[in-house]
Structure 1
Amino acid sequence: MKKHFLLLLSLVSLTTISFAQIPELNVRNTNISMRASGIAKARNYYNNGDYIRAEAMLYSELEKGNFRPNDFLLFANTLNADNKASLALEFFKEYVRVSDNKNATLQIESIFSETKTSYVSRLLETDFPISNPTMYDERVYSSTGGRLLSYGTDCDGNLSNRKEVLQDVVDRPIGSVAFFDYQTKAVISLIDNNQSSLYLIYQKKGKWKKPIKLFTDKPGNYAFPFIDEVNNTLYFSSDRSNGFGGYDIYISSIMDKSFSPPINMGNEINSSGNEINPTVTNDWLYLSSNGHISKGGYDLFKYKNLGDFNVIFANCTDLNTRDNDLGLVPNGKNQFLVTRGNNDVISLYSLSKPAVASTFSGNVIDDNGNPLQNAFVLINSKNNIGNYSTTSSTGKFIHKSGQVTSNISGIVMADGYETSSFDATSDQSVTIRLIKIKPIEIIKEVEIIVYSNDTSATEVTETIIPDTLFERESSSTQPDRGLYYIIIGSTYNYAQAYDYWNEWISSFSGAEILEYDNGLYRIGFYGGKDEDQVLSLFNEARKLKNDVWILRPEN
């Protein structure tokens, strides 16, 4: 495989940080850990949610040339999870270049620039840790230490009135449960000998019968059951053979106490990663996956089959975060319970979408009339505090409010531009023009005074030269992709690139601003004509800045 570029970065000391996982994930990842090495080990760190170790290992395997196309995706997701969005975007674009994912560019656009009205998010209080909740008849069910607990909700929406269920029915740890048929039947995942399997339990004359194991035709893990009672369909995840990767989503038709042979839902949904926690609501299938383009690790996705080979599969950008968004439970109209993993903790959040009473939209452009991406539009702000929207790649923003508002005021801010305010009516679309801030040059003068006793003193003075009198000439050129470069930093904002260049020009005298067609600016300098030369310069550069890297020529 041709390598577009290779990063060489110094690696800092690491600590093991991974999110506390749900039982059905633990059994799969533990089995993989026993035999993993090299790139497989790096992928395993990713699947375990240990993104700091995953980042370090993936850097190492990239340097060794062991990446397959999908590893660029895992690396980009890892960098997103580690709050390195700019670098993640570079690797997402490399994934687009080397993969055959025809929808990747649009998916990346939705992650980085789609304007959404955020749900209102609230952390729920729970007496016990929540791992993988499901809901039936307004009760929440979650496994804790292999025991299945049932919860009601109090007036604030927090989980309360806890009680254990099914303790006399099963003798193995429970992963998760899906009740159906007026709670007289259920499909449960049970953990036994480091393996997850699905079982049917049902009541006869009011008493639960012994569990019946499902899908014994192929070995593997079977987990994350969900029952669509309207269509008599069981959804679940399995890593059985002939799938697309880790856990895939399967369906099976329910006929009383019988289940049809499982059908894999295909590569529109399933990936080389894990697809877990399928949930159907309002004709949409929701699931969590770490194998698609994401904001970091596991994200929530939604899927709908429109017929005639037309499907929709989209990232739920308005629900997802940099944390591991592991599962979604419908809890009323425009309301969800979402489980999120961060480090060693899984938390339960209530997300609700306020009703939209009014909509206000507009565009933000620069002084040349070009659209400005990622500008902040603060609506009805006081002291820079208020509701805000961000602009898309076309400079457009949309603000939705739960209140009817006739007059709108606000301010617009963007890196490298002067802040602008506006007043408008809610029925008009506004265009706000921002003026780029011109840099101010600071000249340091060093004067050495020598005294008669052979001692000396140094005085440093700073003189601010307004841009109207003097402006340092910065270099912005298209890079020659047949050359080696040492890269000092990168940004998608020219004003920030200029600041970086100013900051490092004294240390790296040959530094220039390298401009790319996709709006990326890199600050770097010529690294030589061969590997020996560039490695020598790279080692010298690291003495001044430890996170420089080598951009190698395109093959």
Structure 2
Amino acid sequence: MYIVVLFLSLACFSSAQLKYNDADTNFDNLLYVKAAKQYESIFQKGDDSQHILQRLGDAYFFNTDMENAVKWYGLLFSKYEKKLQPEYGFRYIHALKGVGNYRLAKAIMKIYTKKLDTSEFTVAQLEDNDDKLDELLNGQPQFYISNLGINTPLADFGPTYYKDKIVFSSSRDSLRFETNVYEWNNQPYLDFFMADTTDLGSDLVQVVNFSEILNSKYHEAAATFIPEGNIIYFTRNNYANNDLGRDDEGTNHLKIYTSELKGGEWTLPEEVPFNSETYSTGQPALSPDGKFLFFVSDMPGSIGGTDIFMVELMKDGSFSEPINLGPKINTSGREMFPFVTEERLYFASDGHLGLGGLDIFESELGVNGFGIPENLGKPINSNKDDFAYIVRESTNRGYFSSNRKGGNGDDDIYSFQRMKETCGQTVKGSVIRKANAQPIVDVNVILFSKDGTVLDRTITDSTGAYGFDFELDCEAKHTVKINKEGFLPGEKEFFTTNEKGYTKNVHLEIIKELNNLIVRENGILKIKIDNIYFDLNEANIRQDAAQELNKIVEVMKEYPKMIIKIEAHTDSRGSDRYNETLSDKRAKATGSYIISQGIEANRIESAIGYGEKTLLNQCSNGVKCTTEEHDENRRSEFIITKLE
């Protein structure tokens, strides 16, 4: 299970004994499957010492094989209960929860409550939490969850937001021709992949490799990006210049690296200054404003196996000294995978009271820092490892990772919708055509949050009505957007009230797409149609001219408050006075036709003929021009003087 892989170097092991040298060497090198077989062989030969039983339990525990861990920890407790350190009670409890044996887990919890007064190993799991555990087991679910279609039989976990996409870690080996295998679990090493989100953010599609520059031949996982998306922080094995770094005891620790996107490519990763050769740092998470970086480490000053720390990002690019989030958040167990919003800290822990393995917790951000962590309960949490929770608070939608039973393979990514108590307001309304106030059917209607996230979508019915079931918060800004083929898109912002259960009515008008008939020429707003033609020396509206003028009528119906003026122009052929008189007749005939089609007379400000006074080219009296050049001056213009 890859969540353990990321920080296995942080586990504390007892010193190896010479007679168990081969098995202990494999154990210390994290080859738990091989070591377990060797220890079982030793046990079958009659050695049931505390060392063997502890190592057997630990080998299966660290490999997340809780069924076998329970078996061997059970034997260990039956023979050596009085000699065991409290952390073995902690591991046994987790193993029992991992197989769903909460009854025995609660009994072991009670036993170890009595030892806490003299023990430095203090975690909430070992407190007297009998009633609290029952409450957690029987709590009302707050989430809908769904296993994603992108998951593989290998490890997929650790999603993070990257612009409008999701970046995650996976051991799928789609990039390399030569597969690199990690001996601990015989899977390829972890790389970063990227996926598109669907409209409602409930699924991921189109998985691609994220970056050949950032993906090395070892592990990369748990990334975070600054708000602009051009700087990444991520976890990697201590690996640089083709060298896998190790401490004096041969341990390869994890480090946080950073890279910048320049010219469409990520730069070579660089270490952050608070890394070390002697301890691990990883699982970075930036605050929404990008000013603070949260991360996980076992550095000196840690309370437990791994703690959550925080550094401030200074304006000059430097970092403050790491700050431990303290005993309210961190326990003697493991706290991992922080994620921070403007309102809360989310993290995974096996030290706070949970259902087994790592559980996901939330801590409210108040004026005095982070509050008491609360377990998110079922079904987000299970008796297995649940971690790497990310969420958009505005929609209560997000993703998390789990190795629970029923998944697609190892670690899987799940989407969720949180059913948090909201103001309970809903939205309904109607869509009508602006031109005639008639309802429009099958209009796409989309509801957006204040940050532009799609909350819900529907279409209008035969009466032009629509409605959303999505419940909104009180006194919050939202937007309804509409679109339909053949019509211009529209939208309307609204604010919910402070009344619970209130239904907000949002009505919208939709305007027919008119092929961009409204244009601006030389700073003047006009309705642009093809030229209308009249018979020689006549002002009657011909049928071909009527077809063009009907476009004017349609535009004016779509904009009921629009006012226009009509100008008719001729070429220079004929006398000036004759041309002015003829063009004026044609302008007024044009206005009369538009009025006859249902447009109010007061919406035509004027209809005037200007003859040859405003020619568009050089073809004035006495200038020899072609027919085409003269035709350029023969025109009717429809100038918009008011548009609302």
2:399 to 337, 361, 366: 337
- Asked if structure 1 preserves the Cα contact closer than 8 Å seen for 2:148 and 2:203, the reply is yes
Alpha carbons of 1:185 and 1:358: their partners in 2 closer, same or farther (altered >3 Å)?
closer
1:124 to 148, 173, 191: 148
Counterpart position of 2:320: 260
CA distance in 1, matches of 2:350, 2:90: 10
CA distance in 2, matches of 1:83, 1:302: 23
Greater CA deviation, 288-297 or 299-308? 299-308
1:92 is aligned to 2:109: yes
Long gaps (5+) in structure 2: 15-26, 31-50, 172-189, 245-251, 425-468, 472-644
The 5 Å alignment of 1:306-325 reads: 306=366, 311-318=371-378, 319-325=380-386
Alpha carbons of 1:47 and 1:102: their partners in 2 closer, same or farther (altered >3 Å)?
closer
Counterpart position of 2:301: 242
CA distance in 2, matches of 1:292, 1:98: 17
Q: CA deviation at 1:27?
A: 5.3
Counterpart position of 1:160: 205
User: Residue 133 of structure 1 aligns to a residue in which SS?
Assistant: strand
Counterpart position of 2:528: none
Counterpart position of 1:209: 267
1:225 is aligned to 2:284: yes
Greater CA deviation, 284-293 or 205-214? 205-214
CA distance in 2, matches of 1:78, 1:329: 26
CA distance in 1, matches of 2:141, 2:262: 48
1:143 is aligned to 2:125: no
Alpha carbons of 1:166 and 1:309: their partners in 2 closer, same or farther (altered >3 Å)?
closer
CA distance in 1, matches of 2:148, 2:376: 21
User: Residue 92 of structure 2 aligns to a residue in which SS?
Assistant: helix
- Asked if structure 2 preserves the Cα contact closer than 8 Å seen for 1:70 and 1:99, the reply is no
Count of matched residue positions in the alignment of Structure 1 and Structure 2: 344
Give the alignment's TM-score, normalised by structure 1: 0.55
CA distance in 2, matches of 1:203, 1:58: 49
1:311-361 residue CA offsets vs partner (Å, 9 max, x unmatched): 3122222431112112211145222312111376212222213466999xx
Higher relative contact order (CA 8 A, sep 6+): 1
Q: CA deviation at 1:162?
A: 1.7
Greater CA deviation, 120-129 or 21-30? 21-30
CA distance in 2, matches of 1:355, 1:275: 24
Counterpart position of 1:177: 223
Q: CA deviation at 1:88?
A: 1.4
1:273 is aligned to 2:273: no
Alpha carbons of 1:31 and 1:176: their partners in 2 closer, same or farther (altered >3 Å)?
farther
Counterpart position of 2:482: none
Counterpart position of 1:24: 6
Alpha carbons of 1:144 and 1:30: their partners in 2 closer, same or farther (altered >3 Å)?
farther
Counterpart position of 1:364: none
Q: CA deviation at 1:279?
A: 0.6
User: Residue 112 of structure 2 aligns to a residue in which SS?
Assistant: helix
Counterpart position of 1:50: 65
Q: Which amino acid aligns with 1:186?
A: I
- Asked if structure 2 preserves the Cα contact closer than 8 Å seen for 1:358 and 1:402, the reply is no
- Asked if structure 1 preserves the Cα contact closer than 8 Å seen for 2:146 and 2:416, the reply is yes
Q: CA deviation at 1:246?
A: 1.8
Greater CA deviation, 220-229 or 236-245? 236-245
Structure of higher CA gyration radius:
2
Higher-helix-fraction structure: 2
Q: CA deviation at 1:207?
A: 4.5
User: Residue 110 of structure 1 aligns to a residue in which SS?
Assistant: helix
Alpha carbons of 1:66 and 1:282: their partners in 2 closer, same or farther (altered >3 Å)?
farther
Alpha carbons of 1:239 and 1:280: their partners in 2 closer, same or farther (altered >3 Å)?
same
1:112 is aligned to 2:134: yes
1:52-107 residue CA offsets vs partner (Å, 9 max, x unmatched): 23212322332213322343233222211111121112112223232246966575
Q: Which amino acid aligns with 1:187?
A: Y
Q: Which amino acid aligns with 1:160?
A: V
2:83 to 66, 74, 81: 66
Q: Which amino acid aligns with 2:166?
A: V
CA distance in 2, matches of 1:172, 1:336: 30
1:155-193 residue CA offsets vs partner (Å, 9 max, x unmatched): 573211222222124545312211114111111111233
User: Residue 342 of structure 1 aligns to a residue in which SS?
Assistant: coil
- Asked if structure 1 preserves the Cα contact closer than 8 Å seen for 2:167 and 2:194, the reply is yes
User: Residue 258 of structure 1 aligns to a residue in which SS?
Assistant: coil
- Asked if structure 2 preserves the Cα contact closer than 8 Å seen for 1:170 and 1:210, the reply is no
Alpha carbons of 1:254 and 1:216: their partners in 2 closer, same or farther (altered >3 Å)?
same
1:370-413 residue CA offsets vs partner (Å, 9 max, x unmatched): xxxxxxxxxxxxxxxxxxxxxxxxxxxxxxx999xxxxxxxxxx
Alpha carbons of 1:350 and 1:308: their partners in 2 closer, same or farther (altered >3 Å)?
closer
User: Residue 245 of structure 1 aligns to a residue in which SS?
Assistant: coil
CA distance in 2, matches of 1:58, 1:277: 28
Counterpart position of 1:189: 235
- Asked if structure 1 preserves the Cα contact closer than 8 Å seen for 2:303 and 2:327, the reply is yes
User: Residue 107 of structure 2 aligns to a residue in which SS?
Assistant: helix
% identical equivalent positions: 19
Greater CA deviation, 271-280 or 217-226? 217-226
CA distance in 2, matches of 1:248, 1:307: 22
Alpha carbons of 1:44 and 1:221: their partners in 2 closer, same or farther (altered >3 Å)?
farther
Q: Which amino acid aligns with 1:248?
A: D
Counterpart position of 1:291: 351
Alpha carbons of 1:402 and 1:30: their partners in 2 closer, same or farther (altered >3 Å)?
same
Give the alignment's TM-score, normalised by structure 2: 0.48
CA distance in 1, matches of 2:225, 2:8: 23
